[in-house]
Structure 1
Amino acid sequence: MNNLPFLAQRLFNTPLAITPSKAEMVMAALADHFGITKLFRANGQALAVSDFSFDEGSDEPEHRYYDVVEGVAIIPISGTLVHKSGYMRPTCGMTGYDGIRANLSIALEDPAVRAVMLDIESSGGEVAGCFDLVDAIYGARGKKPIWAVLSENAFSAAYAIASAADKIVVPRTGGTGSVGVICAHVDFSKALAKDGITVTMIHYGARKADGNEFNPLSDEARARYQADVDAMGELFVKTVARNRKLSVAAVRGTQATTFLGAEGVEIGFADAVMAPDEAFRSMLAELG
């Protein structure tokens, strides 16, 4: 794996709109490679790691990167959501906001497309790029019907995307919600000291080294990161409230809780409970 620094930058010291269990799983999978195996274990065993490198030889259609069935463009959104993947389809367990945005733009102009279905199965991902995409989907309402059909779950950043659709359909065992932001900081200082290693940070600007992994997190740095997380969390809450026509207080009051099936409908986070195939047939029936 040759992209560890890149992955580390996207995991640590940056706000994520992802469920804690998913974040823990991703970090556990990468623990051996970051040298923090003891921090992330499941049932006493280090989790296996997947190769996140991209397959440069994969073929993609030249002009359309989504399937069209009965006039419905099906845009897949699955796995960990990232700002830029460079791919139009999910790959290696990731979906890029750049690919979703491009597919949506093409589908809205595609004469063969009568409606768009966002096929979602994701526990969320990066905050960066998420809300710009959400605003783009929200702004496309009225051009063509846009439904979010959950293959199972749409949590955190994935739910932000779903909330921008005209309608959200969740299966009875699927989930919605987790309207919150999380940030992880790793402190290697004690482990390094145990091995007789001292790292000295030489920097210009008193706050330049805030959040570095070689020193404990200072109160000032913690407050700074908390303020950023709070600001992004409020953006998330207000965006969902706008999209779902709910009060800001109601969305904030969920405290990033997840809701199973019909519970999501009751809270206002979904419109109907249906299996994905039933939801697709319902969409076709509405299209006529």
Structure 2
Amino acid sequence: MADEWKAEKADPEDAKSWKLLEKTLLAGVQEQRRARRWGIFFKSLTFLYLFGALVLFSPLLKLSSGGASESSGSGHTAVIDVRGMIADKESASADNIVGSLRKAFEDANTRGVILRINSPGGSPVQSGYIYDEIRRLRGEYPAIKLYAVISDLGASGAYYIASAADEIYADKASLVGSIGVTAAGFGFVGIMEKLGVDRRVYTSGEHKAFLDPFQPPKEEEALFWKGVLDTTHKQFIDSVKQGRGERLKWQQHPELFSGLVWSGEQALELGLVDGLGSTSYVAREVIGQKEMVDFTTQESPFDRFAKRLGASVAEHLALWMGFQGPSLR
């Protein structure tokens, strides 16, 4: 103690520095404690917010997945939306559309079904699933007619689906048709050469990487891919012919299968559609039940939130870079 007293007497400036350092360290410790308390508070608040959102939205989940509103019980027209790209995991996927169709046909009060279409097309597989299910349900429930009503656009895969209906209606200015198949990608060979970058791909199979956008295309592979698209196109044409029958004037107008698109008024002359009219017109004047019930499968709030976060960005980016399959567009 005597030595410490002597040191303090000998150098009071050092003693002040030590006290200042001690106060600074204590203040830092207190700030860390305060920060931890606030961190726990905000984490708890976030948990309570998410829990409250779950409780709030949980009653809507059943309605969102069911997609059907209640009717008066005296009969109604069932309406199902086919909107946007027809693809797996999209709102117009085969799972969603087929599920809605089954519920609509099974409902005892359904007097007719309308597919309300506004779509540029999409996957031939998804479109084919929906087409086949429409024809199956029409056979199982012959008393219930199904009508396709095209609003702005009913092209390619969307028309593929529509051709399975009993009748097709459109607005005079709707765009209808585009009976064709496309598969698109990008080629980055020139850019790679300018950058001095070599693409190294190791495969087992001579043509395993024939869709690689970083390698130059080969003539025999391009011909092979063209054959795949032609086969898909033929399947598309055969299904449309089967669905439309003699109404489709393809013999007089072979360009119907060329991928061109027509207005609703022109489509009526070509046999692509059976009449001009809106969804409400068909429900009121054709089916005879103006009361409409929406059977469209709706996304849950959590699904919409997840999509906004961009959970599928990587998947879509890979497709856009040239790895997607054929598309009815």
- TM-score (norm: length of structure 2): 0.63
Q: 2:226 corresponds to which residue? A: 226
Distance apart, 1:141 and its partner CA: 2.0
- What runs of 5+ residues in structure 1 fail to find an aligned partner? 1-55
1:27: which partner in 2?
none
Alignment check: 8 A CA contact 1:186 1:213 kept: yes
> Is 2:108 the counterpart of 1:111?
yes
Bigger mean CA deviation after superposition, 219-228 or 58-67: 58-67
2:66 paired residue among 64, 67, 75: 64
Q: CA deviation at 1:140?
A: 2.1
* 1:261-272 to 2 correspondences below 5 Å: 261-272=264-275
1: CA distance between counterparts of 2:222 and 2:252? 28
Asked if 2 retains the 8 angstrom alpha-carbon contact of 1:169 and 1:271, the reply is yes
Residues 60, 130 of structure 1: alpha-carbon distance in 2 compared, 3 angstrom cutoff: same
Structure 2 counterpart of 1:179, one-letter code: I
Deviations 1:178-224 (A, max 9, x none): 11101113111111222221111111111111111110111121111
Q: Matched residue pairs, number?
A: 225
Deviation of the 1:133 alpha carbon: 1.7
Aligned partners of 1:252 and 1:229: how far apart in 2?
18
Name the aligned partner's letter for residue 279 of structure 2: P
What letter corresponds to residue 163 of structure 1 in structure 2?
S
198-207 or 246-255: bigger deviation:
246-255
CA contact (8 A) 1:237 1:251 kept: no
Report whether the alignment pairs 1:187 with 2:187.
yes
Alpha-carbon shift at residue 277 of structure 1 (Å): 2.6
More helix by share: 2
Q: Percent identity?
A: 25
Q: Which amino acid aligns with 1:173?
A: A
Q: Which residue of 2 aligns with 1:98?
A: 95
Greater relative CO (CA pairs within 8 A, separation 6+)? 2
1:251, distance to aligned residue in structure 2 (A): 7.2
Residues 115 and 146 in structure 1, CA contact (< 8 A), matched pair in contact too: yes
Tell me which protein shows more strand as a share of its residues: 1
Q: Give the structure 2 partner of residue 281 of structure 1.
A: 284
**Relative to structure 1, is the Cα distance of residues 191 and 99 closer, same or farther in structure 2, using a 3 angstrom cutoff?**
same
CA contact (8 A) 2:111 2:287 kept: no
Per-residue deviation at 1:261?
A: 1.4
**Structure 1 counterpart of 2:285, one-letter code:** S
Per the TM alignment, residue 59 of structure 1 is displaced from its structure 2 partner at its CA by: 3.6
Task: State the one-letter code of the partner of 1:238.
Answer: D
SS of equivalent to 1:153 = strand
What is aligned with 2:207?
207
Q: Name the structure 2 match of 1:257.
A: 260
2:85 alignment partner, one of 80, 89, 95:
80
Q: Is the 8 A contact 2:155 2:176 kept in 1?
A: yes
**Map of 1:131 onto structure 2:** 128
Higher deviation after alignment, 65-74 or 229-238: 65-74
Q: Contact conserved, 1:153 with 1:170, CA < 8 A, in 2? A: no
| In 1: Cα distance, 2:286 partner to 2:271 partner | 20
CA contact (8 A) 1:76 1:119 kept: yes
C-alpha displacement of 1:267 = 0.7
1:137 and 1:250, CA in 2 relative to 1: closer, same or farther beyond 3 A? farther
Q: Deviations over 1:122-174 (max 9, x none)?
A: 11111122212212112222512101111222100000111111111101111
Change (3 A) 1:64 1:111: farther
| 1:255-276: CA deviation from partner (whole Å, max 9, x where unpaired) | 1221101211111110001133
Taking a change above 3 Å as real, the CA distance of residues 68 and 197 of structure 1, as seen in their structure-2 partners, is farther
Q: Report 1:149-168 matches (<5 A).
A: 149-168=149-168
Runs of 5+ in structure 2 lacking a partner?
1-53, 292-329
Per-residue Cα deviation, 1:226-249 (whole angstroms, up to 9, x for no partner)? 001000001111100110004765
Provide the secondary structure at the position in 2 that maps to 1:278: helix
Residue 78 of structure 1: how far off its partner (Å): 0.6
* CA–CA distance in structure 2, aligned partners of residues 187 and 260 of structure 1: 34
Calculate the TM-score normalised by the size of structure 1.
0.71
Report SS of the residue matched to 1:183.
coil
Contact 2:77-2:289 at 8 Å conserved across structures: no
Please state how far the C-alpha of 1:62 moved relative to its aligned partner: 6.5
The residue matched to 1:205 in structure 2 has which SS? coil
State the structure with more CA Rg.
2
For the aligned residue pairs, the C-alpha RMSD in angstroms reads 2.5
CA distance in 2, matches of 1:76, 1:213: 36
